[in-house]
């Protein structure tokens, strides 16, 4: 391609500034949306990965409960495996900094003798590790914050503050700063480090841990050790490599990321329509230029090359604008997305956004590819024309009119194929909706020329203006049909999204109407983050029930759990005190099954599953749910309905005393770290115990949609009963 | 250089019988000769030029350019022949208005991928010959009709084609300007030893050619040799 010829052809941009700008804007918007969405998607995973790396970076394996927690008794079983070189339990708790609305700490309770070197700094005792360790173990409420978060909260080493966890108020002292980002640059600034026993005691986790990190002995295959551990520990626990944990997080976010990605691809498609329209209009205007070039001896491929190179330059310009625009949009929206991640998926906030070279490359591919794809058809059309046709004073004759029936036939064939696919196996696919939407977006433009030709060409003329306009639409199908198709796609998307939102609103309204029947909702502070891990204490529930104005209360607890086949489920446990007859059927309307049997079945420990879950698991699923300590092995029980299949779930073992190292095999620590005097048991946490508030001292009342414990004073209570804590 | 043998050309029309524009046209044009095509509007004069340039193909018969039967060649090869042998002058000039005069003249050289320095020097030389050297940097869109056609002449002759085809080169100009352009066209072609085939409605301009062919309803009605 002659550089001067290309430069000469690009010079026309000066005369068609609007079209050029439209093309660049179209590309830039498409690129920006992709870059924005992918930056946020990657940021979400990186936030999880960064925190995982900071906390469990030295672990080869992690043992987790399939329920929200893991019984402490599992720890000695892990240590007993010959392939385990070292193992250390962790307690995780999201706690709210008192006096703030949304400042949480992601507390990591760790055994001080675990073979993990956390980058502590600013400890008393001139940085002595021994003194720091003694502080961590011996000073009640000792906690290490990240330097960023300490600065944000205005705390310095030595400061005391209070955090709220469910109905507990816990005083803490900043004993040190821990710069997790030295080890993992993407680690959350909200991470905080505590002694495990103190964390268990302070946050009501006695007898429970959240995970056990494992270092595999030298020469051992982590995968093999993991499999052995999984067999040994049974289905109540799962053993994961760091990569599997990352995969689980990615899987959890799969639908979320897919939705965002699909939306960004729609904007790419819209950008491509803009490019197509702009390039087409530009080429129609410049057809004589190309006719001249052809008559001067320019071959078709040279014409095609000139047009595509022009589009490529526009694509690159659009990318140059779109990539920073997308990154800025991501920064602008990061808090909204972050809120979704933390409230729905219980993952870490996105604190840092990065624009890796790969994402810039993706932006370039999208921008360049979109511009080239958008320009391809008009470029091909012009390149294929004979020079005489291009030089002619009349408009370009159009072939689209002749092709219209065949294109419409193709659209119908596509529609039939996708319906057959959907009826066959497509409905089981998560991306089913997107496939249907994509086919709709392809079929509509294919159908448009015929519809336009047949409608506009046959409308009886009612005046000069109408006749000219409608005949013009029908005769210039090549340009008009794309504009109409773009409008049709936009309108169909608009209708689809409006219906979706309307349906969601209706569902939400129904749910609110059926679920929020109480007058007052009482939850623990920070329940949104620490979902299901720290319930209200029995004393608070008793206090609530004892109020003379309270007629009856509902107890509700939500738990995140994983089934033995790896499915994430959210269990809502409800214990109704003094409920009226028909209460269950009013709250959980059955789509199928006998409503009279539901109450007794639930009382017997069964579970009712939602319609979407039933759709995924199939009718009368035999999938057992695993809970901390034990697994419900019974298959789904009656009634055998696809939407209300109850399952038995067993209660776990009861909580025990604060963390003490088990005798026998113990977690090993590098030789430079201080070791415990007796080598088997840790320093007692007793000194701190008396200083904790013995009884619940606070309880947040809120009108949240998902109450942890609710009370009502409006309905008659046939048999008021005393509150007690849920057995889990 | 150029031979037409029993050339027919008809155009298909939607819902109507094909319209025959040329019927059995036969003539030839030797290197360095000049030939004027005259006839009424719609007699097929321009079609003869399009067929000669290879931008249109005959329905029957053969058009031979420099020994090559154009109809038998693929589009790429016809483009190559056009670049090598043909210079085209249009009635409506077909200059690119956003380019400079010099760039417009250079265009065939750029399409062919000739060395830029050589192309630019040749373009300046031609512009000098048509007295437009001082307008080389101006935008082509700012020129008068006569000036535009002079630029178009330079563009047609840039690569020293052995055959120049001119479709009513003075049709858009007044009499005086037309006469100047015609004189330049003939003079330049003679200087470059290029054969010239041009279409005109003017008897005076037709008389300037070595030979004249008259087309009537697509057939050659008469041929004459100028004095």
User: What does the pLDDT average to over A94-113?
Assistant: 86
Q: How confident is the model at residue A149 (pLDDT cuts 50, 70, 90)?
A: very high
DSSP string, A266-277: HHHHHHHHHHHH
Q: Between residues B53 and A348, which one has the greater pLDDT?
A: B53
Give the count of alpha carbons within 13 A of B202, CB side only: 18
> Do residues A61 and A558 lie in contact, with contact meaning Cβ atoms separated by under 8 Å?
no
Tally of CB atoms within 10 A around A14: 9
**Run of H or E residues at A181:** none
| Chain B hits for A293, Cβ within 8 Å | 107, 111
The predicted-structure confidence for B182-221, as pLDDT tens digits, reads as follows 888 888 888 888 899 999 888 888 888 888 888 888 888 7
Please name the residue that has the structure tokens 């702009």. A278
Instruction: Choose, out of B46, B54, B75, B91, the residue to mutate when testing the contact with A (most A CBs < 10 Å).
Output: B75
Q: Between residues A280 and A361, which one has the greater pLDDT?
A: A361
User: What does the pLDDT average to over A193-215?
Assistant: 88
Residues linked to residue B63 through DSSP beta bridges, in sequence order: B4
Q: Between residues A284 and B39, which one has the greater pLDDT?
A: B39
Q: Is the pLDDT of residue A674 over 70?
A: no
Q: What average pLDDT is seen over chain A? A: 73
Q: How confident is the model at residue A646 (pLDDT cuts 50, 70, 90)?
A: very low
Q: Between residues A639 and A535, which one has the greater pLDDT?
A: A535
Q: Rounded distance, CA A375 to CA A395, Å?
A: 20
In percent, the amount of chain A with pLDDT more than 70 equals 74
Q: Rounded distance, CA B88 to CA B152, Å?
A: 8
Q: Is the pLDDT of residue A570 over 80?
A: no
**Run of H or E residues at A621:** none
A8/B99 CB distance under 8 A:
yes
Please name the residue that has the structure tokens 């991501």. A330
Q: Between residues A209 and B218, which one has the greater pLDDT?
A: A209
Q: Which of A11, A295, A388 sits opposite B99 (nearest CB)?
A: A11
A297/B86 CB distance under 8 A:
yes
Instruction: Choose, out of B11, B21, B55, B172, the residue to mutate when testing the contact with A (most A CBs < 10 Å).
Output: B55
DSSP string, B56-77: S--SEEEEEETTEEGGGS-HHH
User: What does the pLDDT average to over A405-415?
Assistant: 89
Q: How confident is the model at residue A477 (pLDDT cuts 50, 70, 90)?
A: confident
Integer CA distances (angstroms), A139 to A133, A173, A224, A288, in order: 10, 9, 40, 86
**Run of H or E residues at A23:** helix A17-56
Q: Rounded distance, CA A387 to CA A499, Å?
A: 50
Q: Rounded distance, CA B77 to CA A386, Å?
A: 14
Q: How confident is the model at residue A125 (pLDDT cuts 50, 70, 90)?
A: very low
User: What does the pLDDT average to over A230-246?
Assistant: 85
B96/A289 CB distance under 8 A:
yes
User: What does the pLDDT average to over B54-58?
Assistant: 88
> Do residues A505 and A322 lie in contact, with contact meaning Cβ atoms separated by under 8 Å?
no
From A297, which residue of chain B is nearest by alpha-carbon distance? B79
**In whole angstroms, what separates CA B75 from the centre of its chain?**
19
B140: tokens are 């082509």
Q: Rounded distance, CA A629 to CA A654, Å?
A: 9
Q: Rounded distance, CA A425 to CA A432, Å?
A: 10
From B94, which residue of chain A is nearest by alpha-carbon distance? A292
User: What does the pLDDT average to over A521-534?
Assistant: 71
B90/A289 CB distance under 8 A:
no
> Do residues A316 and A367 lie in contact, with contact meaning Cβ atoms separated by under 8 Å?
yes
A291/B116 CB distance under 8 A:
no
The predicted-structure confidence for B105-162, as pLDDT tens digits, reads as follows 999 998 888 898 999 999 999 898 888 889 999 998 888 888 888 899 899 989 889 9
Task: Say which range, A287-301, A527-541, A575-589, has the weakest mean pLDDT.
Answer: A575-589
Q: Is the pLDDT of residue A50 over 90?
A: no
> Do residues A325 and A284 lie in contact, with contact meaning Cβ atoms separated by under 8 Å?
no
In percent, the amount of chain A with pLDDT more than 90 equals 7
Q: Is the pLDDT of residue A657 over 60?
A: no
Please name the residue that has the structure tokens 């004249």. B212
Closest CA to A457 of A393, A404, A417, A516: A404
Q: Which residues contact A112 (CB under 8 A, 6 or more apart)?
A: A133, A136, A137, A195, A196, A682, A683
| Alpha carbon of A289: minimum distance to chain B alpha carbons (Å) | 7
Q: Which residues contact A498 (CB under 8 A, 6 or more apart)?
A: none
> Do residues A699 and A538 lie in contact, with contact meaning Cβ atoms separated by under 8 Å?
no
A292/B99 CB distance under 8 A:
no
B94/A294 CB distance under 8 A:
no
Q: How confident is the model at residue A676 (pLDDT cuts 50, 70, 90)?
A: very low
Q: Rounded distance, CA A674 to CA A679, Å?
A: 10
Q: Rounded distance, CA A401 to CA A457, Å?
A: 11
Task: Say which range, A96-100, A211-215, A486-490, A716-720, has the weakest mean pLDDT.
Answer: A716-720
A296/B53 CB distance under 8 A:
no
Task: Say which range, A207-216, A232-241, A252-261, A706-715, has the weakest mean pLDDT.
Answer: A706-715
| Chain A hits for B79, Cβ within 8 Å | 294, 297-299
Using the Cβ of B90 and the Cβ atoms of chain A, whether some distance falls under 8 Å is answered with: yes
Q: How confident is the model at residue A629 (pLDDT cuts 50, 70, 90)?
A: very low
Using the Cβ of A312 and the Cβ atoms of chain B, whether some distance falls under 8 Å is answered with: no
Q: Rounded distance, CA B108 to CA A362, Å?
A: 39
| Chain A hits for B86, Cβ within 8 Å | 297
| Chain A hits for B75, Cβ within 8 Å | 299-300
Using the Cβ of A285 and the Cβ atoms of chain B, whether some distance falls under 8 Å is answered with: no
B53/A295 CB distance under 8 A:
yes
| Alpha carbon of B80: minimum distance to chain A alpha carbons (Å) | 6
Look at residue A537 in the predicted model and tell me its pLDDT: 81
Closest CA to A584 of A601, A563, A568: A601
Using the Cβ of B73 and the Cβ atoms of chain A, whether some distance falls under 8 Å is answered with: no
Q: Is the pLDDT of residue A308 over 80?
A: yes
| Alpha carbon of A15: minimum distance to chain B alpha carbons (Å) | 8
Q: How confident is the model at residue B224 (pLDDT cuts 50, 70, 90)?
A: low
Q: Is the pLDDT of residue A638 over 50?
A: no
- Give exposure, B67-88, as e/b (b: 16+ Cβ within 10 Å): ebebbebeeeebbbbbbebbbb
Look at residue A67 in the predicted model and tell me its pLDDT: 74
A387/B99 CB distance under 8 A:
no
- β-bridge pairing A211-216 and A61-65: antiparallel
| Alpha carbon of B48: minimum distance to chain A alpha carbons (Å) | 13
Q: How confident is the model at residue A375 (pLDDT cuts 50, 70, 90)?
A: confident
Closest CA to A537 of A379, A694, A651: A694
Q: pTM of the prediction?
A: 0.66
User: What does the pLDDT average to over A412-434?
Assistant: 82
| Chain A hits for B97, Cβ within 8 Å | 15
Closest CA to B86 of B197, B162, B2, B198: B162
Q: Rounded distance, CA A496 to CA A259, Å?
A: 14
Residue A563 DSSP SS3: strand
Using the Cβ of B142 and the Cβ atoms of chain A, whether some distance falls under 8 Å is answered with: no
What DSSP character marks residue A610?
Answer: -
Using the Cβ of A309 and the Cβ atoms of chain B, whether some distance falls under 8 Å is answered with: no
A387/B55 CB distance under 8 A:
yes
Range with the largest mean pLDDT of A418-427, A614-623, B158-167: B158-167
Q: Between residues A512 and A712, which one has the greater pLDDT?
A: A512
Task: Say which range, A410-419, A486-495, B111-120, has the weakest mean pLDDT.
Answer: A486-495
Q: Rounded distance, CA A14 to CA A25, Å?
A: 16
Phi, psi of A641 (to 5 degrees): -120, 150
Strands, E, within A598-704: which ranges?
Answer: 700-701
From A386, which residue of chain B is nearest by alpha-carbon distance? B55
Look at residue A630 in the predicted model and tell me its pLDDT: 37
Q: Between residues B109 and A524, which one has the greater pLDDT?
A: B109
Look at residue B14 in the predicted model and tell me its pLDDT: 67
Q: Which of B76, B94, B113 sits opposite A292 (nearest CB)?
A: B94
Please, where are the H alpha helices in A193-253? 196-202, 222-233, 242-252
Q: Between residues A195 and A464, which one has the greater pLDDT?
A: A195
Classify burial at A592, counting beta carbons within 10 Å of its beta carbon; exposed 0-12, middle 13-18, buried 19 or more. middle
Look at residue A395 in the predicted model and tell me its pLDDT: 55
Q: Which of B79, B94, B103 sits opposite A298 (nearest CB)?
A: B79
| Chain B hits for A295, Cβ within 8 Å | 53, 55, 82, 88
Q: How confident is the model at residue A699 (pLDDT cuts 50, 70, 90)?
A: very low
Q: Rounded distance, CA B7 to CA A116, Å?
A: 93
B111/A300 CB distance under 8 A:
no
| Alpha carbon of A399: minimum distance to chain B alpha carbons (Å) | 13
Q: Between residues A564 and A63, which one has the greater pLDDT?
A: A63
> Do residues A574 and A555 lie in contact, with contact meaning Cβ atoms separated by under 8 Å?
yes
**Run of H or E residues at B118:** helix B116-129
């Amino acid at each position: 391609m002659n550089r001067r010829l290309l430069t000469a052809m690009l010079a026309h941009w000066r005369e068609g500034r609007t079209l050029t700008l439209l093309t660049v804007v179209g590309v830039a918007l498409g690129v920006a949306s992709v870059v924005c969405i992918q930056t946020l998607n990657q940021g979400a995973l990186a936030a999880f990965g960064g925190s995982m790396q900071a906390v469990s970076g030295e672990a080869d394996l992690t043992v987790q409960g399939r329920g929200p927690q893991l019984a402490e008794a599992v720890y000695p079983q892990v240590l007993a495996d010959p392939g385990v070189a070292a193992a250390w339990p962790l307690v995780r708790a999201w706690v709210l900094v008192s006096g703030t609305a949304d400042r949480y700490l992601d507390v990591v309770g760790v055994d001080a003798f675990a073979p993990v070197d956390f980058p502590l700094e600013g400890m008393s005792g001139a940085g002595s590790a021994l003194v720091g360790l003694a502080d961590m173990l011996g000073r009640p409420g000792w906690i290490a914050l990240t330097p960023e978060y300490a600065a944000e909260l205005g705390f310095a080493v030595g400061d005391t503050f209070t955090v709220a966890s469910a109905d507990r108020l816990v005083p803490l002292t900043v004993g040190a700063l821990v710069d997790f980002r030295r080890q993992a640059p993407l680690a959350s600034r909200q991470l905080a480090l505590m002694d495990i026993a103190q964390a268990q005691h302070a946050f009501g986790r006695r007898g429970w841990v959240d995970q056990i990190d494992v270092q595999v002995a030298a020469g051992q295959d982590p995968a093999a050790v993991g499999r052995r551990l999984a067999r040994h520990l049974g289905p109540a626990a799962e053993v994961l490599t760091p990569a599997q944990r990352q995969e689980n997080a990615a899987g959890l976010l799969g639908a979320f990321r897919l939705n965002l990605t699909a939306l960004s691809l729609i904007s790419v498609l819209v950008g491509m329509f803009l490019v197509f329209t702009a390039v087409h209009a530009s080429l129609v205007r410049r057809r004589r230029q190309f006719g001249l070039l052809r008559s001067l001896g320019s071959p078709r491929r040279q014409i095609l090359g000139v047009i595509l190179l022009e589009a490529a330059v526009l694509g690159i310009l659009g990318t140059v604008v779109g990539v920073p625009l997308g990154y800025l949009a991501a920064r602008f929206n990061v808090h909204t997305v972050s809120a979704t991640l933390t409230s729905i998926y219980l993952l870490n906030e996105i604190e840092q956004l990065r624009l890796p070279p790969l994402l810039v490359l993706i932006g370039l591919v999208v921008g360049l590819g979109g511009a080239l794809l958008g320009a391809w058809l008009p470029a091909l059309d012009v390149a294929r024309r004979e020079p005489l046709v291009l030089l002619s004073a009349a408009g370009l004759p159009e072939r689209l009119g002749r092709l219209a029936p065949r294109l419409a036939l193709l659209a119908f064939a596509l529609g039939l194929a996708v319906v057959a696919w959907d009826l066959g196996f497509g409905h089981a696919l998560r991306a089913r909706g997107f496939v249907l939407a994509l086919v709709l977006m392809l079929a509509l433009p294919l159908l448009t020329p015929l519809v336009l030709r047949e409608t506009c060409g046959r409308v009886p003329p009612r005046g000069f203006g109408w006749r000219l306009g409608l005949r013009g639409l029908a005769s210039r199908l090549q340009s008009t049909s794309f504009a109409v198709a773009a409008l049709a796609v936009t309108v169909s998307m608009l209708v689809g999204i409006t219906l979706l939102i309307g349906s969601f609103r209706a569902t939400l309204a129904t749910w609110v109407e059926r679920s929020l029947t109480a007058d007052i909702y009482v939850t623990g502070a920070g329940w949104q983050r620490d979902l299901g891990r720290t319930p209200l204490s029995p004393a608070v529930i008793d206090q609530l029930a004892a109020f003379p104005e309270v007629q009856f209360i509902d107890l509700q607890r939500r738990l995140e759990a994983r089934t033995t086949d790896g499915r994430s489920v959210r269990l809502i446990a409800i214990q109704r005190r003094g409920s009226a007859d028909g209460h269950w059927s009013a709250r959980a309307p059955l789509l199928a099954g006998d409503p009279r049997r539901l109450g007794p079945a639930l009382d017997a420990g069964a579970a009712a599953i939602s319609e979407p879950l039933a759709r995924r698991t199939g009718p009368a699923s035999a999938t057992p749910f695993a809970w901390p300590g034990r697994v419900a092995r019974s298959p789904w029980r009656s009634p055998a309905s696809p939407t209300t299949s109850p399952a038995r779930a067993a209660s776990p073992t009861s909580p025990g005393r604060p963390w003490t190292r088990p005798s026998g095999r113990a977690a090993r620590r590098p030789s430079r770290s201080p070791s415990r005097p007796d080598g088997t048991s840790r320093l007692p946490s007793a000194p701190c115990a008396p200083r904790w508030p013995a009884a619940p001292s606070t309880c947040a009342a809120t009108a949240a949609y998902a109450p942890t414990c609710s009370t009502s004073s409006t309905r008659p209570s046939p048999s008021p009963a005393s509150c007690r804590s849920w057995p889990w | 250089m150029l031979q037409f043998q029993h050339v027919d050309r008809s155009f298909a029309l939607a819902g109507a019988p094909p319209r025959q524009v040329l019927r059995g046209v036969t003539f030839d044009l030797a290197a360095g000769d000049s030939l004027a095509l005259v006839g009424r509007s719609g007699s097929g004069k321009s079609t003869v030029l399009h067929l000669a340039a290879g931008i249109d193909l005959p329905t029957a018969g053969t058009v031979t350019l420099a020994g090559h039967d154009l109809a038998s060649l693929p589009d790429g090869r016809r483009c190559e022949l056009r670049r090598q042998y043909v210079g085209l002058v249009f009635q409506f000039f077909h200059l690119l208005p956003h380019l400079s005069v010099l760039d417009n003249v250079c265009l065939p050289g750029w399409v062919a991928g000739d060395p830029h320095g050589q192309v630019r020097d040749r373009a300046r030389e031609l512009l000098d010959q048509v007295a437009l050297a001082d307008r080389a940097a101006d935008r082509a869109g700012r020129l008068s009709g006569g000036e535009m056609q002079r630029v178009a002449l330079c563009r047609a002759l840039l690569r020293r084609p052995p055959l120049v085809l001119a479709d009513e080169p003075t049709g858009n100009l007044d009499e005086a300007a037309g006469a100047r352009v015609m004189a330049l066209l003939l003079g330049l072609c003679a200087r470059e030893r290029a054969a010239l085939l041009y279409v005109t409605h003017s008897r005076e301009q037709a008389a300037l050619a070595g030979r004249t062919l008259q087309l009537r309803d697509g057939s050659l009605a008469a041929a004459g040799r100028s004095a």
